Each structure stands twice: as structure tokens, then as C-alpha cells.
Amino acid sequence: MEPEPGVGNISLNPLFSNLNNSNFSYENNSPCINQGDPQLVDPDGSRSDIGANYYFITILGDCNDDSNVNIVDIVSIIDNCIMNDFAETCNCGDLNEDGDINIVDIVILVNIILND
């Protein structure tokens, strides 16, 4: 069945993360991201997404979600992810995506900050 023609309707695959397991979050290349009502804003400050879910756009290294990458993010990774061993719940600290949150990730974050 084709969607009714009109503004905001798409006929593309929405690219859900895992449809077979009822995970309707979007993959990062979903055509639904930032394509909703331009008058509405998602919690991440971007244009609304199509559908009930939203895709949270993150800034690499912004571990405290304040839309800035700075020394506070370094402290956040060290305090929350390394010193307190909350790595399993730390969604930002593994900047090189090697499965470990360690000093290498801190060095990467320092380089991000210095190059901005």
C-alpha cells in the first residue's frame, strides 16, 4: 500500500535499528531524521523527526550533553566512566570505539578540544 500523497509523507524505508525485535529507533542514516514538522523541535534541538521516536543527534565528545565539547567533558569521562567504573552505562566515553574507556579516549577528546 502506498502512502497518501502530501507534505511530510515518504515512501522510503525508515531504517529502524532492529525491526525484528521491535526496536523502532532510527539508524543514523534514516530518511526520517530531521524531516518532520519544521515548527517542532526535538529534545536535541534539531528539527523534529518523522514518527513517534526521535533520533538524538550527539556531538562527538560532548559527554555531559551541554552542546559544548570542553574540559567539563574530560572530567565527566574520568569521573563517571573511568574512576567509578560505570563504563557499561557511559554512553560517550569510548571515543575510539575499541570497547574500553581509558586514557586513549581522554587523549582523543583533548585533541578534539584543541582542534576546535
**What SS3 state is found at 75?**
helix
Q: What is the mean pLDDT of residues 53-82?
A: 84
Tens-digit pLDDT profile for residues 1-44: 665 666 667 788 999 888 888 888 888 889 998 898 889 988 77
Domain count within the chain: 2
Domain of residue 38: give its range: 1-57
50 part of a folded domain: yes
62 part of a folded domain: no
**What SS3 state is found at 100?**
coil
Query: Quick check: pTM over 0.75?
Result: no
Any idea how long the chain is? 116
Answer for the pair 48, 100: CB distance below 8 angstroms, yes or no.
no
Structure-block grid coordinates of residue 105: 579516549
Same domain, 51 and 11: yes
User: How high is the pLDDT of residue 39?
Assistant: 92
Same domain, 3 and 50: yes
